[in-house]
Copies of this chain bind each other. A is one copy, B any other.
């Protein structure tokens, strides 16, 4: 099952559509939104019965699968990413970070469509973070790992946009990222886990491709070095409260260690590269004392996608250009 959300007049929630496997055609489902489908926990057979005739699918015209959601919780499951952040600023990382997931409540009131511009002021340090995300059904408080695993309805890609230069002040206040994490973008297509050959019940294996201005920037394996899998992240989120249907759980920046356990090499040097600019800058800082790669400048483009074994795009591409705010 592959799903998308189409523009539908002024309806902020759009209209649900079933996608063809090649992502070229779709079947809109009348009077149905992604949230409503999740609320009702509708099975695929029911959606098939409700779906209208097939029509062409234009990836530039779709919305995020959930154009707005009641909850977005973003983990930091690839602890290598956090270790790098800490190492670059000379801060020790508590051992607990390897056993207790970091997670924050992120903005969920609007998700950008996969080709919407990334906006910000260049001096905010605008960055992308390529992530895997899952969408859950209802999760009861205190859910077990098995309940958490069974709650995963869909998998998609997510670009967690960050204003790096605003983060230190915001985190310094102790209450989270707020102003430093604006709206994020999602892949146009969300896929049921059982339709993903790379899904092992907890992680999505496969190469997460990130190009910056047409150059290979990241080629990390999303199934490698993921310290906390999605069921573990969901259990963490639901420890003290239930999660509504349609909760989006992000993996945090996908990040691979180097084969020798080091921080990872650029793609041009045969490494897995990076899924955000900050990580490349941290490695540059570690190697030469200062970052070299700038954050996103107006006109820069980032492309994030995954392919199946046959080289076909699984989720469609997130392809965004940075645009300066006036």
Could you tell me which A residues sit within 8 Å of B by CB distance?
A: 12, 39, 68-71, 73, 76, 100, 102-110, 120, 124, 141-142, 163, 166, 171, 173-180, 182-183, 236-237, 239-244, 246-247, 325
Query: When the two chains form the complex, which single residue of B109, B176, B246 contacts A244, counting CB atoms closer than 8 Å?
Result: B109
CA distance A242 to B325 in the complex (A): 13
Given A68-B244, A102-B174, 20 more contacts at CB 8 Å? Answer: A12-B39, A70-B70, A70-B110, A71-B108, A71-B109, A73-B178, A102-B173, A102-B175, A104-B178, A105-B107, A108-B108, A109-B246, A109-B247, A110-B241, A141-B325, A175-B176, A176-B177, A179-B236, A180-B240, A183-B241
CA distance A108 to B68 in the complex (A): 12
Verify B176–A176 contact, CB threshold 8 A. Answer: yes
Verify B175–A241 contact, CB threshold 8 A. Answer: no
Verify B173–A174 contact, CB threshold 8 A. Answer: no
A5 CB → nearest B CB, Å: 15
A sample of 6 cross-chain residue pairs with beta-carbon separation below 8 angstroms, ordered by A number, consists of: A12-B39, A68-B244, A70-B110, A73-B178, A76-B175, A104-B178
CA distance A102 to B171 in the complex (A): 11
Chain B residues whose CB sits within 8 angstroms of the CB of A102 once the complex forms: 173-175
CA distance A95 to B321 in the complex (A): 39
Residue of chain B at shortest CB distance from A104? B175
Q: How many copies does the complex hold?
A: 2
Chain B residues whose CB sits within 8 angstroms of the CB of A174 once the complex forms: 102, 171, 174
Query: When the two chains form the complex, which single residue of B68, B124, B176, B178 contacts A70, counting CB atoms closer than 8 Å?
Result: B68
CA distance A141 to B120 in the complex (A): 11
Verify A105–B176 contact, CB threshold 8 A. Answer: yes
Chain B residues whose CB sits within 8 angstroms of the CB of A109 once the complex forms: 70-71, 243-244, 246-247
Chain B residues whose CB sits within 8 angstroms of the CB of A141 once the complex forms: 325
CA distance A108 to B242 in the complex (A): 12
Residue of chain B at shortest CB distance from A71? B109
CA distance A20 to B298 in the complex (A): 53
Residue of chain B at shortest CB distance from A239? B179
Chain B residues whose CB sits within 8 angstroms of the CB of A236 once the complex forms: 179
Verify B107–A241 contact, CB threshold 8 A. Answer: yes
Chain B residues whose CB sits within 8 angstroms of the CB of A142 once the complex forms: 325
Residue of chain B at shortest CB distance from A97? B173
CA distance A105 to B182 in the complex (A): 12
Closest 10 A/B residue pairs (Cβ): A176-B176, A109-B244, A182-B241, A71-B109, A104-B175, A70-B109, A105-B105, A179-B240, A68-B70, A104-B176
CA distance A244 to B107 in the complex (A): 10
CA distance A69 to B100 in the complex (A): 28
A227 CB → nearest B CB, Å: 15
Chain B residues whose CB sits within 8 angstroms of the CB of A110 once the complex forms: 70, 241-242, 244
CA distance A17 to B183 in the complex (A): 32
CA distance A39 to B10 in the complex (A): 10
Query: When the two chains form the complex, which single residue of B12, B100, B175 contacts A103, counting CB atoms closer than 8 Å?
Result: B175
Residue of chain B at shortest CB distance from A244? B109
